[in-house]
Amino acid sequence: MLRKILIANRGEIAVRIIRACAEMGIRSVAIYSEVDRFALHVKKADESYCIGTEPLAGYLNVYALVDLAAATGCDAVHPGYGFLSENAQFARACKERGLIFIGPESDVIRRMGDKTEARNAMIAAGIPVTPGTANLASVEEALTAAEKIGYPIMLKATSGGGGRGIRRCDNADDLQRNFDRVISEATKAFGSADVFLEKCVVNPRHIEVQVLGDHHGNTIHLYERDCSIQRRNQKLIEIAPSPQLDEAQRQYIGGLAVLAAKAVGYTNAGTVEFLLDSNDRFYFMEMNTRVQVEHTITETITGVDIVEEQIRVAARLPLRCKQEDISRRGYAIQFRINAEDPQNGFLPSFGHISRYYAPGGPGVRTDTAIYTGYDIPPYYDSMLAKLIVSAITWEDTIKRGERALKDMGLFGIKTTIPYYLEILRHPEFRAGCFNTGFIEQHPELVNYSNKPRPEV
């Protein structure tokens, strides 16, 4: 088993990994920029080291992090999600220094991070994909291809992710206007100017499947998550399992995900993402080669500790479960509590948290790195916490979500909590009937009252 892990991340995912290490008897090493000096992950780790005064540069410095891990006696590095988690160079640098990268092999990260190469791998494996192109050399080539595919189309950065480097184009004018914009955005965010086209599946349901693979030839899935409630390609609420699938669809998509993972020799935790169109046809979208933000709800319904399994697989231990051992229980919903003001165009609301009260009770879990008195720095993602609720039935899970959101107290800043309460009360959501167009189709959801509750 591993002895000491450097966590190349910050915030709630760093805290989550530190907790897993503590339960496994593994020492944890945290990193932090100067603005993160008072962050919770810094306080909770066994050791903590400052990586510089710049808010972002230290978290993205491949060789400085590898050097630090080696110098502090670590035998492994966990990248969490975001930052360098899907950076093949980072995984390769770890291996070159004799460190274990807790994730898939660098070549698999590179292949699946290149969306056109990932598409080709899935086509070869017999996985359905949407009609699309290879990387495009010019806007003229893009226009010709779009006419053949048919509008609307999605213009995507080959190395994109997190909702960046992607634009929907409904006609040739849209494509011409967005082509250079997407290339610029992709170059700045991912260091690559490659773009391609895919047929746009209008208002699909976004369904993803959690997979685990070890170094002993075992690959399993942990059922699916419904991530259709999203805004500008960024997920807000995730659900496991999807209330929109029947059992036949569930087994089919789980089998596709395992087939996809085996096709590329995948090890560790990963997620295969699909779009489900209005005719109930599944299409491969992408594979995320890391732990997902929403891994929590899969853990809740299956009882599998995904982060612990990541560490065990990295230590070359076999998976503790076979596919027939995996069962699911009830439903789980995760709410991404963001420091944003929905009534002001979702403008970020960073600042001082004057009071924070975590919800509790049966079927409630909170993953966060905030506390009363914490100052939220403006340099990172706006997500403050993940609130996870679960119950046996879909209806009871919604009720528990309402109760837990009302229990949560976050004062001093604006958050998405009241917005999520409006979503839970919407009849379409309660009926389990929604798609990726839900937020756009219901702008009235921001018209909630700001009048404080009597207890506040």
What is the average pLDDT across 20-24?
98
Work out the pLDDT band at 454, boundaries 50, 70, 90. low
pLDDT at 449: 87
pLDDT tens, 397-439? Answer: 999 999 999 999 999 999 999 999 999 999 999 999 999 999 9
What CA–CA distance (Å, rounded) separates 291 from 225?
14
More confident residue, 107 or 455: 107
What is the average pLDDT across 190-212?
93
Work out the pLDDT band at 198, boundaries 50, 70, 90. very high
The contacts of residue 338 (CB under 8 Å, 6+ apart) are 236, 346, 382, 383, 384, 415, 416
pLDDT at 162: 63
What CA–CA distance (Å, rounded) separates 420 from 431?
16
What CA–CA distance (Å, rounded) separates 272 from 326?
18
- Strand-strand pairing, 282-288 and 268-276: antiparallel
Q: Which of 61-65, 183-187, 336-340, 439-443 has the lowest mean pLDDT?
A: 183-187
Which single residue is written with the structure tokens 């909770």?
44
pLDDT at 186: 83
Work out the pLDDT band at 65, boundaries 50, 70, 90. very high
pLDDT greater than 90 at residue 187 = no
What is the average pLDDT across 244-264?
98
What CA–CA distance (Å, rounded) separates 174 from 152?
10
φ, ψ dihedrals at 237, nearest 5°: -130, 135
pLDDT at 73: 98
pLDDT at 189: 75
| Most trustworthy range by pLDDT among 129-143, 178-192, 441-455 | 129-143
| Residue 454, burial from CB neighbour count under 10 angstroms (0-12, 13-18, 19+) | exposed
- Strand-strand pairing, 76-78 and 47-50: unpaired
Q: Which residues are catalytic?
A: 290
Average pLDDT of the chain, as a whole number? 95
pLDDT at 345: 96
- Strand-strand pairing, 100-101 and 282-288: unpaired
pLDDT tens, 305-315? Answer: 999 999 999 99
What is the average pLDDT across 10-19?
98
Is the Cβ–Cβ distance between 384 and 335 less than 8 Å? no
Give the three-class secondary structure for 119: helix
Roughly how many angstroms between the first and final C-alpha of the chain, as a whole number?
Answer: 48
pLDDT greater than 80 at residue 455 = no
| Residue 28, burial from CB neighbour count under 10 angstroms (0-12, 13-18, 19+) | buried
Which strands form 76-78's sheet, in the order they lie side by side? 47-50, 27-32, 4-7, 76-78, 100-101
What is the residue type of 410?
A: L
pLDDT at 192: 82
What is the average pLDDT across 210-230?
98
pLDDT greater than 80 at residue 452 = no
Work out the pLDDT band at 158, boundaries 50, 70, 90. confident
What is the average pLDDT across 40-69?
97
Cα-Cα-Cα-Cα dihedral sign, residues 224, 86, 389, 424: negative
pLDDT tens, 355-385? Answer: 999 999 999 999 999 999 999 999 999 999 9
What CA–CA distance (Å, rounded) separates 49 from 235?
32
pLDDT at 248: 98
What is the average pLDDT across 380-395?
97
This prediction has a pTM of 0.93
What is the average pLDDT across 52-79?
97
pLDDT at 453: 63
Structure tokens at 404: 């837990």
pLDDT at 360: 96
φ, ψ dihedrals at 81, nearest 5°: -130, 160
φ, ψ dihedrals at 3, nearest 5°: -105, -35
pLDDT greater than 70 at residue 160 = no
Q: Indicate the helix (H) or strand (E) that contains 194.
A: none
